[in-house]
């Protein structure tokens, strides 16, 4: 699908490709292996504000050069103190991405390490190239994976595999990630973006409101079910698009049955 426009500004840490039904965002600090710094965090917050106001599916990638994101910028981490840690600079950003109204897809080519891996975990769906690798090397630097991995990996992979990654330093390659369900698909690098677009093509065939409410129910805490499911379904049962879609389905079925009568 053709782009509406691509915003490229010298010095930008992210490149934004706005399309009719989706927004592609490319992390863009190639000289630093897309390390997540304060400037990138600020620009991604701006993007979140845009997608909260005008909801679209987000596709997030590090490009096609074999690196998704090599983690947080170590030079900036070195200068941070306990007050900075309590601000949750990366964690709050990743939580905001996690909470975007429409689904999010991470397209991962190559290394996703540290905060880069945690950014990928914050997305709803992940697709990977055959050279993708996920790892959390933070303890080797004297810190922990504090931007979501410690709790998201348990939910995504289970406690045992999560501890192998967080404590034993295990790196998951693309096939590991596929086998454990961390990624939806593994492709050759040259097919990664078309695969991600194909996932989104399937998504946008659905009702946008149904997608939004499905995401809310999936992400709701366990104690909220089944009440949140019932309330979300009640909203959709009154939605005009439900009647249009179901009416079209019934009419199409009736027409097929008439032709074969």
Which residues are the active-site residues?
118, 138
Q: What is the DSSP letter of 107?
A: E
Exposure b/e, 150-174, CB count within 10 A at least 16 = b: eebbeebbeeebbeebbeeeeebbb
**What's the CA gap between 6 and 200, in Å, rounded?**
19
Q: Where are the alpha helices (DSSP H) in the chain?
A: 38-53, 74-79, 82-87, 89-98, 115-122, 149-157, 159-166, 174-179, 192-203, 208-219, 227-237, 240-259
Which helix (H) or strand (E) segment holds residue 127: the answer is: strand 125-129
What H or E segment, with its residue span, contains residue 16?
strand 14-19
Q: How many CB atoms lie within 10 A of CB 105?
A: 23
Q: Which two tokens stand for residue 190?
A: 């040259």
Residues paired with 36 in a beta bridge: 72
| All residues at 6 or more sequence positions from 12 whose CB lies less than 8 Å from its CB, including other chains | 28, 43
Q: Among candidates 94, 34, 38, which has minimal Cα distance to 70?
A: 34
């Amino acid at each position: 699908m053709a782009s509406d426009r691509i915003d490229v500004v010298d010095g930008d840490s992210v490149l934004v490709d706005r399309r009719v039904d989706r927004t592609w965002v490319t992390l863009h600090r190639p000289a630093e292996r897309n390390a997540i710094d304060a400037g990138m965090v600020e620009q991604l917050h701006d993007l979140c504000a845009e997608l909260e106001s005008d909801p679209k599916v987000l596709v997030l990638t590090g490009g096609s050069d074999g690196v998704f994101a090599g983690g947080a910028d170590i030079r900036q981490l070195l200068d941070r103190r306990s007050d900075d840690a309590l601000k949750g600079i990366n964690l709050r950003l990743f939580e905001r991405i996690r909470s975007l109204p429409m689904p999010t897809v991470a397209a991962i080519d190559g290394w996703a390490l540290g905060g880069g891996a945690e950014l990928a975990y914050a997305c709803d769906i992940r697709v990977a190239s055959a050279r993708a690798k996920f790892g959390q090397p933070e303890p080797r630097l004297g810190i922990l994976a504090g931007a979501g991995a410690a709790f998201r990996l348990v939910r995504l992979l289970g406690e045992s595999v999560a501890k192998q990654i967080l404590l034993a330093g295990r790196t998951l390659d693309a096939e590991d990630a596929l086998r454990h369900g961390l990624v939806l698909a593994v492709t050759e690098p040259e097919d990664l973006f078309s695969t991600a677009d194909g996932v989104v093509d399937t998504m946008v065939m659905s009702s946008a409101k149904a997608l939004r409410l499905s995401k809310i129910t999936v992400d709701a805490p366990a104690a909220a079910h089944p009440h949140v499911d019932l309330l979300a379904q009640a909203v959709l049962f009154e939605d005009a698009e439900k009647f249009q879609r179901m009416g079209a389905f019934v009419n199409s079925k009736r027409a097929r049955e008439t032709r074969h009568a």
